[in-house]
Structure 1
Amino acid sequence: MLNAFIPIWLLTALGYLTARFDLVGAASADVEAVLGRFVFRVAMPASLFGMLAKADLHALANTSIVAFGISSLVACGLGLAMGTRVFGRDVPNGAVVAMASGYVNSANLGIPVAIQVLGNAVFLSTVILFNTVLVTPIVLTLMGLSDGPAPGLRQRLRGIAMLPVHNPIIIASAFGALVSATHFHVPVDVSSALSLLGGAAVPVALITLGMSLHAGKGAGKRAGKSTGRAEALDTANQAKFIRSKKSVITETIASIALKTAFQPVLAYVLAHYVLNLPAHDVLAVTLCAALPTAQNVFIYASEYALDTVFARNAVIFSTVASMAGLWTAAALLK
């Protein structure tokens, strides 16, 4: 299982060294922003479209994903409530806390862990499908909400309804689901090109995450919103992220606890006691729920000019903490 974590650490370390020694010949914060936009607007949409175009959407109709899905949504909901009600964040930044608290790293870490412990990645494919089809659109819609003057109800509803239309990840996912539902076969050459492009999403995202470890010391620039309104946060926007050290530590620990402890325990209770699933399915549900926060939360926070420092810390520290949770789940339930 440890081998599954090694590529994550290596690519993150490579990103840090790239920024630390200025290997790309430009300001590290600028490069970080460009790479983040590339992942969000180009590589990740290609990856999600290719995955959903080949997916069986009927896989969502199984009992095991119910247990996992409820645990994920409850953890995200508690994270959103904690971020907005307890720590005073606005809804977009509260969505960052929500995603950090319940959105699992199901792809680049989950697949090797599942193969090692479960023997296959069948259930992981359902988890990836659940995150892509349901959780991602909800979180990105919340992140895209404006914190400006409150509009009327009709304007607010229209604004929320139009947000997905401007989001390349949601658009690509919707087209991928449509291709799957209509059984349309994407031409081989197009599919191969999308696979090559989508394959860049995870490694570039991890390198971007690593670069933020060094670039974050400058506390400067973040990728602008998908509307392109700003690449650097202005002074007023930066002030939203200024918190006491105690508050930052408390919020980070609480979010990591939701992700690496509360979610897998809730998933186990639902799978074992409520749904009475077979032992192997209980292990699969619990193990997947114990996976750490996905690096996507950092990419999304960067794209929407939100609190990338919290997102980065949540990804890194939850990955460390999840090692104990994954080993415990495998040892007790396998």
Structure 2
Amino acid sequence: MHINDHNPLPSYLPAADRYDQMKYRNCGKSGLKLPEISLGLWHNFGHNADLTLGRKILRRAFDLGICHFDLANNYGPPFGSAEENFGRILQKDFLPYRDELLISSKAGWDMWPGPYGNFGSRKYLIASCDQSLKRMGLDYVDVFYHHRPDPNTPMEETMGALDQLVRQGKALYVGISQYNAEDTAKAYGILKSLGTPLLIHQPRYSMLDRWVENGLMDILGEKGVGSIAFSPLEQGMLTDKYLKGIPADSRAAKDGRYLNAGKLAPEKLEMVSRLNDIALERGQTLAQMAIAWLLKDPRITSVLVGVSKPEQLDDNVTAIKNTEFSIEEASQIKTILGA
């Protein structure tokens, strides 16, 4: 990642009306509010990206009232580079506004070689959090997540490590990601017994990937745990990008790990096209409707978006202006989705 030294960005003064642009929701039964749209740094902040563009994206996000920036130890590429670059931008632009920001990170996926650089042991989670803090130049993160379930580590150990991070002052709150309903209820109970509440769950959730509706959302609502949905646009499928096939410059064409031809099968594209027709009738882009569809559920605290240019943030944030669906619209959408 490089800075364009010949055309440096001017010093940053955030928009005075930034909090008027966004709506905020309480995270479960906690006192913490999240913006309805949050920014994820999974893509476009590694060392292979343009730091000047990254700064523009973060600045535009904050100007729109997006005060939650979501990272993980292995975001890049290479692993750790998104946190490093975020730390550089934080020092340049956002340090005076640290207390206005909600910064999260995670550990749970492969990070470094050997038996202690993956999954959910106390050794891995605490070491990883320490590394993340150093990379970002922070004393603490606002939320620290266990990034995925670990079937081989007792959950008491993993949740105990999260509790320890809070007691050490390295995280203000803790969360989990991609846990199923049963394991979420168990994690909630363990953390409650330790005196550190489970603040939030970060599941993959979109109109085309609705696994959370099979019990998880009910558990979160019942326990008063917040939720923040990632991949709400299904890696670009729920946008107008693929309505006429796969563009040569798209991520699907360049990198099949995230979105491949199988996911872009003709029947899926037909489904997306029909959803797009409803979005247009609502006066929304397909991406806006996909975000609004998630936000219509009050148990969803925030929707996590990733963008490659600042203008996409404006499009995403416009979704919060209309999150109501008529009975007819909801029925049409459920028919298309096969719900």
State the TM-score, normalizing by the size of structure 1. 0.26
Highest RCO, 1 vs 2 (Cα 8 Å, sep ≥ 6): 1
Which one has the bigger strand percentage?
2
TM-score, length-scaled by structure 2:
0.26
Higher helix share: 1
